[in-house]
């Protein structure tokens, strides 16, 4: 059986990758994927802890996260499509019309 630490480390690595992706990439789709990566890092941690403490609540939580993530993807992708339609680009640095 793989020790719990491995899972946590993997989860942390995935999460960090997600954070870095969000912070350094300019393509909105990539940023979106990075966000998903962070969610799944969290899911991995949930599942790992769930199997260690022999409780289903962690796994149930994951289901909810997946469901919410799906909804979020639907909304997010729709937004990106609309933005592309009006701006002909999905570079987030160009979306600065609310700049103070």
Rg (CA), the chain: 17
> Could you write out the DSSP letters of every residue in 5-41?
HHHHHHHHHHHHHHHHHHHH--BHHHHHHHHHHHHHH
User: What is d(CA 5, CA 20) in angstroms, rounded to the nearest whole number?
Assistant: 22
Identified binder of other proteins from the candidate list 2, 23, 53, 75, rule CB under 8 A: 23
Q: Is 12 in the site for other proteins (CB under 8 A)?
A: no
Identified binder of other proteins from the candidate list 8, 69, 83, 92, rule CB under 8 A: 92
Q: Is 99 in the site for other proteins (CB under 8 A)?
A: yes
Task: Write the interaction track for other proteins spanning residues 26-55; mark x where CB under 8 A is met and - where it is not.
Answer: x----x------------------------
Distance of CA 46 to the CA centre of its chain: 14
Per CB under 8 A, residues contacting other proteins are 19, 22-24, 26, 31, 92-93, 95-100
């Amino acid at each position: 059986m793989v020790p719990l630490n491995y899972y946590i480390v993997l989860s942390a690595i995935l999460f960090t990758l997600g954070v870095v992706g969000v912070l350094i990439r300019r393509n909105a789709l990539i940023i979106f994927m990075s966000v998903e990566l962070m969610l799944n890092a969290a899911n991995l941690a949930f599942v790992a802890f769930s199997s260690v403490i022999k409780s289903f609540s962690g796994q149930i939580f994951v289901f909810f996260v997946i469901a919410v993530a799906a909804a979020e993807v639907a909304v997010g992708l729709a937004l990106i499509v609309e933005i592309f339609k009006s701006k002909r680009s999905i570079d987030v640095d160009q979306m600065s019309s609310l700049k103070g």
